[in-house]
Amino acid sequence: MVDRKPRAVVFGASASGVAFLERHRDMYEVLAVADNDSEKHATEFCGTWVIPPHELGGIDYDVVVVASIFFRNIQRQLVGDLGVPVEAIDDVSLRLGAVLRAARRSLPEDYQAELLLALGSTTAEHSHIQDVSARLAESTRRLETTSLDVETWLAMRYSLMIHGFIEASEAARMHARDAALLLVSNGDGAEDPGVLLTAIRASLDGGDISAARRFRAKLSDPGSHASDLVAIDSYLEMSERGSFTPRAGTEAVDDEGDRRFRNLLAGRSVAIVGPAPCPEGLGREIDTFDVIVRVSYWGASHLPSQDAAGSRTDVSYYNEQHGARAVQDAHIGVLSDLRLAVFKDPSQVARFSPSRAAFLPGPCLFDGHPNMIPIMLFDMLHFNPSRIKVFGTNFFLSDRASRYDKSYVGISSHSASGRLFALARHDLCSQVNFVRNLVKAGAVEIDEIGARVLDMSNRDYMAAMERVDWRLPTHGSATQSGGTQG
């Protein structure tokens, strides 16, 4: 007997739904696409009919895949309003389903029951049941690291984060890091380039630069991982020496944008001004730097007061979403205020001059995509500034009473559900540990706002993040979406 494909309903007739179906349609028998937008009902979406959610009860499905950043909101609707079993729901990355299958195979039955109870208890706001959250975090810490492999532990990190179980998410992440190091120390795969590369990332994440260097020395033949090692070698030097000298033919691309950036930064002091609230009076120190760099500059009228955040902007970095918006005809005039724009997406460079594409530190992170502060630091250290200091960055430890300033529309404009989805993609502790290593090495300075976070243990940082109130204000909230800034 041939096993049939799982029968799936995709929830979300959106760009995420398109991406999911393009990538995974062959894995499923897709029965329907559900969506809350009544204007989409009874229309065709990627070759499948769109139905209202209440019709799910008449469909014999195996899984409902939520193709939306608002995972928690939709999960609550599916479980609470439509009676869909929590174990029949997967997220668009399919990591949640992988975790539940692995839990059934490899984790204790009492933990499986506790996990399902927790996943079914979350609400659309950040006020999920605190005792459930605390118990799940402690139970996750007590699991045996060898129960799951590195990839599955990281899938659990992601899955717990999108549900708002931030402390439990970090517990799964720590198991993943320990599992990566155990795999090498036990001799299993010690000569495998992929295993060694994961061990390097795990060591960097834990601040053990010497161990990372030892594992790196074993990678004499990186094979398909050669491009990753270019970034890792650069970061190792930054984290060991506190500075970095690009080698010909590797890191530095000798194009006009890079030459301009080197002329702008080399031997000069640089202030990076992030989106977190800065105290009044800090602007005077910021203005003493030779070059002032911001995230997602949208014009002087969008900036905080000069007394708090400085009086000029020389360079701005843009992630993919904000860069796409910045180079549109309606907004591109704003870029003329800058001495240079830096884009995460290389394809956007052609739309504006002077600009360039950033060198990205993704291969150096243990998990997740880099957000903007790690990108900016890694990129600028390629150009030999005399000094870099970071202001106004608290690694998202802001509630609505002290919300990010109005120029940063990205993560601060999401609902709690959307914000958790964004944070899951980026892995908060990977970002913090990346910056912590550079500060410890003396490559970067950071103001008191950021230092308070870097001085925390990862566990305390995650506990603080779980206490943050991310509910949107009831009036005057931003509606644009974008990427995380950090």
Question: Which domains occur in the chain, in start order?
Answer: 256-467 (3.90.1480)
44 falls in which pLDDT band (50, 70, 90)?
A: very high
**Average pLDDT of the residues of the chain:** 88
For the stretch 451-479, what's the b/e string if a residue is b when 16 or more beta carbons lie within 10 angstroms of its beta carbon? eebbebebeebbbbbbebebebeeeeebe
Q: What is the mean pLDDT of residues 340-354?
A: 95
| Residue 283 and residue 306 in contact, taking contact as beta carbons nearer than 8 Å | yes
pLDDT of residue 185: 83
Q: What is the mean pLDDT of residues 162-188?
A: 91
Q: What is the mean pLDDT of residues 454-466?
A: 93
pLDDT of residue 475: 36
Sheet holding 355-357, edge to edge: 355-357, 340-343, 315-318, 291-295, 269-273, 387-391, 445-446
- Tell me the per-residue pLDDT of 74-103, one tens digit each, with 9 for 90 and over: 998 999 899 999 999 999 999 999 999 999
| Residue 223 and residue 193 in contact, taking contact as beta carbons nearer than 8 Å | yes
CA distance readout (Å), 21 to 32, 52, 68, 238, 342? 11, 19, 13, 41, 33
Q: Which residue has the tokens 């010909």?
A: 248
| Residue 484 and residue 410 in contact, taking contact as beta carbons nearer than 8 Å | yes
Integer Cα distance of 214 and 165 in angstroms: 35
The number of angstroms, rounded, from the C-alpha of 226 to the middle of its chain's C-alpha atoms is 24
Integer Cα distance of 306 and 283 in angstroms: 6
Helices and strands in the chain: count of H runs, count of E runs: 19, 13
pLDDT exceeds 50 at position 474:
no
Q: What is the DSSP track for 57-110?
A: GGS--SEEEE-SS-HHHHHHIIIIIT---GGGEEETTSHHHHHHHHHHHHS-HH
pLDDT of residue 129: 64
pLDDT exceeds 60 at position 472:
no
Q: What is the mean pLDDT of residues 183-199?
A: 83
Integer Cα distance of 37 and 55 in angstroms: 14
Q: What is the mean pLDDT of residues 311-339?
A: 94
Q: What is the mean pLDDT of residues 447-476?
A: 80
| Residue 96 and residue 90 in contact, taking contact as beta carbons nearer than 8 Å | yes
Look at strands 315-318 and 291-295 and give their pairing: parallel
pLDDT exceeds 70 at position 127:
no
Integer Cα distance of 104 and 116 in angstroms: 11
Q: Which of 146, 92, 139, 149 is nearest to 116 (CA)?
A: 139
In this predicted structure, which of 9-13, 202-206, 475-479 has the lowest mean pLDDT? 475-479
Integer Cα distance of 262 and 257 in angstroms: 9
Q: At what angle do helices 166-185 and 458-467 cross, to 10 degrees?
A: 160
Q: Would you mind telling me the total number of residues written for the chain in this entry?
A: 486
Q: What is the mean pLDDT of residues 237-259?
A: 75
Q: What is the DSSP letter of 230?
A: H
Q: Which residue has the tokens 């839990």?
A: 103
The enclosing H or E element of 293 equals strand 291-295
User: Whole-model pTM above 0.85?
Assistant: yes
Q: What is the mean pLDDT of residues 254-267?
A: 91
pLDDT of residue 414: 53
pLDDT of residue 385: 96
- Tell me the per-residue pLDDT of 112-124, one tens digit each, with 9 for 90 and over: 999 998 988 865 4
Q: What is the mean pLDDT of residues 118-141?
A: 77
Integer Cα distance of 275 and 469 in angstroms: 18
pLDDT of residue 413: 46
355 falls in which pLDDT band (50, 70, 90)?
A: very high
Which tokens hold the place of 243? 């500075």
Which tokens hold the place of 247? 């080698």
CA distance readout (Å), 222 to 52, 131, 248, 339? 50, 46, 20, 39
pLDDT of residue 16: 92
- Tell me the per-residue pLDDT of 399-415, one tens digit each, with 9 for 90 and over: 654 454 444 444 444 56
pLDDT of residue 483: 35
Largest CA distance in the chain: 74
Q: What is the mean pLDDT of residues 341-358?
A: 95
Q: What is the mean pLDDT of residues 163-175?
A: 94
Q: Which residues contact 148 (CB under 8 A, 6 or more apart)?
A: 102, 106, 107, 156, 175, 179
Q: What is the mean pLDDT of residues 142-154?
A: 97
pLDDT exceeds 80 at position 251:
no
In this predicted structure, which of 99-113, 182-196, 301-315, 371-385 has the lowest mean pLDDT? 182-196
pLDDT of residue 188: 66
Integer Cα distance of 308 and 285 in angstroms: 10
pLDDT exceeds 90 at position 212:
yes
Checking phi first, is residue 46 left (phi over 0); if not, alpha (psi -120 to 50) or beta? left
Residue 217, helix vs strand vs coil: helix
Rounded percentage of the chain residues whose pLDDT exceeds 70:
88
pLDDT of residue 252: 53
